[in-house]
Amino acid sequence: MADHPAPSPQPGAAPPVRRRLSAEDRRRQLVAIGLAKIVETPIQDLSMDDVAAEAGISRGLLFHYFPTKTDFYLACIAAAGRRMLRTTAPDPDLAGEEQVEMTTRLMVEQIERRRGFYLALVHGHGVADPRVAEVMDSVREGSTERVVAALGVPESQRPVVRAWWAYTEDRALTWSAVPTGERPVPVSVLVEECVAALHALLRISAG
């Protein structure tokens, strides 16, 4: 099929203005495009040409901002980690116990929605770089700090809370792998069980 010429601008209409982005704004734009794509596409299948085209720049210019594919992928994964912490943040006006219940539920629901992406983030599928693990560590540390602060957990028990998050993630991944109509418990019960496990672990570790 032959290409059709673009429609001529209407008489008197101002031509579209293309704003020149600063280097930092361009990086943010590219990462936002990449992040939107890797939510549904395995990161190893992400096309740099598609990202550049969506941003309206050349592939060569994309590599000016991110020297290698791995650099770009890592920037996207880091952005995904930051987004995860934002979307699982509890309401700070709630009581501590309610904050813990809320952030647990939000994490479980997020893992359910993006199970494949979360597995890739945890296991680093598609990017053989130790910095991927650092992103997941930052998410777990941020989540741990929320629980420690909400419940006033002593610093000596911080490792217990961090280990509990790994347990909760595993429960959520196992639960979300089962088709919706066949799950043994609803999300509310799963969250209740996870929070109960946290308190049991804290009691045991307190001796």
DSSP 91: P
Residue ranges, the chain, pLDDT below 50: 1-9, 13-18
Q: How far apart (Å, rounded) are the C-alpha atoms in residues 50 and 55?
A: 9
pLDDT at site 86 = 94
What type of residue is 71? D
**Nearest one of 108, 132, 171, 104 to 44, comparing CA atoms:** 132
What ranges in 88-114 are assigned the alpha helix state H? 96-113
Which residues are within 8 A (CB) of 161 and not within 5 positions of it... i.e. 6 or more apart? 144, 147, 148, 153, 198, 202
* Share of the chain residues as helix, strand and coil, in percent rounded to the nearest 5: 70, 0, 30
Which residues are within 8 A (CB) of 20 and not within 5 positions of it... i.e. 6 or more apart? none
pLDDT at site 14 = 44
- What are 62-86's pLDDT values in tens digits? 999 999 888 898 888 888 888 889 9
User: Which tokens in the block code for residue 152?
Assistant: 């006033």
pLDDT at site 144 = 97
Q: Alpha-carbon Rg of the chain, whole angstroms?
A: 22
DSSP 41: S
SS3 assignment for 11-70: CCCCCCCCCCCCHHHHHHHHHHHHHHHHCCCCHHHCCHHHHHHHHCCCHHHHHHHCCCHH
pLDDT at site 38 = 77
